[in-house]
């Protein structure tokens, strides 16, 4: 049952007028006064006489309902955050074809790098199992992706349900003309989105498994811009060292896992992190990636001050409608079925 409350309970005092209204409505003068109807021969009480006080009852109940409506009955509907001083975090995810490598979960080669990233990112945002941190309920979070081209898929938002829906729908590029690693473009777009945020602290988490080979912005140029705007960048190089099993097609057209070399430009990623005051990490498996997010979660914590208010479901219109209906009904009955003639 919802918790009902009254915004202005003092208006309930007006309900004390109901007995007075009832008394006045039932004590109107009549032209003939009898000590008893039994003095009239053959007199029997008709249904109209039995219900003679119905309009008075309707008036009294209408007064009570109108008094309740003035008291503004309502139930708390949900709690809403109005203002807060959290962190703005932009997640930058590599969607190039190399993210299809199956080297992050040793015991299950059906899981590619992107699936691991999505799973750990969900834990980082929600904190449900705390493998990647305690959750970021108070932070603005957005998503930028890149392959040959960068794209802003989710703006900075507190609606983490929609954010996670976008994250779950991420797909590795399938067309050759879209493949590539526009590292600088991805970082530059994320910096632009963070620049517009009024959050006290702004952070970018750049996750890639390759070497910058596409785009128009040099990665270090984007890092310089981030540094100028006081945006911290954490870089994560994803993938095992050496060779990684990657889906391919053999001579007979069957899909097989083919070992391919892992190439990550760790030097550039380290420089980006150092220039912006962040850190560089290397994630060789799912547990390592979760530990990295947990570390970032611990580093990027701030005191949150916020104003909260409750949204209410107002119920006074129902009481107003019922009260006015009874009032109209009482007046109608007084002027028709229970009309008194002088």
107 pLDDT band, cuts 50/70/90, is confident
Burial class (CB in 10 A: 0-12, 13-18, 19+), 284: middle
How far does Cα 19 stand from its chain's mean position? 49
- Is the pLDDT confidence value at 251 over 80? no
Q: What is the mean pLDDT of the chain?
A: 84
The rounded distance, in Å, linking the Cα atoms of 221 and 225 is: 6
Give the C-alpha separation, 182 to 265, whole Å: 13
Q: Is the pLDDT of residue 1 over 50?
A: no
The pTM assigned to this predicted structure is 0.65
For 63-78, what is the mean pLDDT?
84
pLDDT grade for 328, boundaries at 50, 70 and 90: confident
Q: Inform me whether the pLDDT recorded for 149 exceeds 90.
A: yes
Lowest mean pLDDT among 48-57, 98-107, 293-302: 48-57
pLDDT tens, residue by residue, 22-40: 888 777 655 555 555 555 5
CA proximity to 142, closest of 122, 118, 167: 167
What's the pLDDT at 94?
96
- What is the structure's pLDDT at 2? 55
Reported as a pLDDT band with limits 50, 70 and 90, residue 152 is very high
Provide the residue count of the chain.
Answer: 342
Q: Could you give all domains of the chain from N- to C-terminal order, each with its CATH number?
A: 1-28+45-82+306-342 (no CATH), 86-299 (3.40.50.410)
Confidence of residue 200 (pLDDT cuts 50, 70, 90): confident
Q: Which pLDDT does position 236 carry in this prediction?
A: 95
């Amino acid at each position: 049952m919802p918790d009902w409350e009254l915004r202005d309970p003092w208006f309930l005092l007006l309900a004390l007028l109901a007995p007075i209204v009832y008394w006045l409505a039932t004590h109107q003068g009549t032209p003939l006064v009898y000590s008893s109807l039994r003095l009239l021969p053959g007199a029997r009480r008709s249904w109209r006489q039995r219900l003679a006080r119905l309009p008075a009852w309707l008036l009294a109940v209408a007064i009570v309902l109108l008094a309740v409506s003035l008291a503004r009955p309502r139930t708390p509907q949900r709690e809403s955050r109005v203002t807060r001083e959290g962190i703005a975090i932009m997640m930058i995810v590599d969607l190039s074809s190399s993210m299809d490598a199956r080297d992050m979960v040793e015991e299950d080669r059906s899981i590619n790098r992107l699936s691991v990233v999505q799973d750990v990112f969900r834990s980082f945002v929600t904190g449900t199992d705390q493998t990647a941190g305690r959750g970021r309920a108070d932070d603005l979070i957005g998503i930028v992706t890149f392959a040959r081209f960068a794209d802003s898929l989710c703006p900075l938002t507190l609606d983490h349900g929609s954010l996670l829906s976008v994250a779950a729908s991420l797909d590795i590029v399938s067309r050759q003309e879209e493949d590539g690693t526009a590292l600088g473009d991805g970082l530059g777009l994320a910096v632009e989105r963070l620049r517009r945020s009024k959050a006290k602290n702004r952070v970018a988490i750049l996750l890639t498994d390759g070497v910058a080979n596409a785009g128009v912005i040099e990665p270090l140029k984007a890092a310089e811009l981030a540094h100028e705007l006081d945006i911290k960048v954490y870089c994560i190089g994803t993938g095992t060292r050496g060779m990684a099993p990657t889906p391919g097609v053999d001579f007979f057209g069957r899909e097989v896992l083919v070992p391919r070399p892992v190439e990550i430009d760790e030097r550039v990623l380290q420089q980006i992190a150092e220039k912006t005051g962040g850190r560089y990490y290397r994630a060789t498996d799912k547990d390592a990636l979760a530990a990295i997010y947990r570390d970032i979660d611990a580093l990027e914590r701030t005191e949150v001050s916020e104003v909260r208010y409750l949204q209410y479901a107002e119920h006074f219109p129902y009481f107003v409608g019922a009260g006015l209906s009874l009032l109209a009904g009482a007046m109608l009955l007084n002027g028709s079925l229970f009309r008194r003639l002088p």
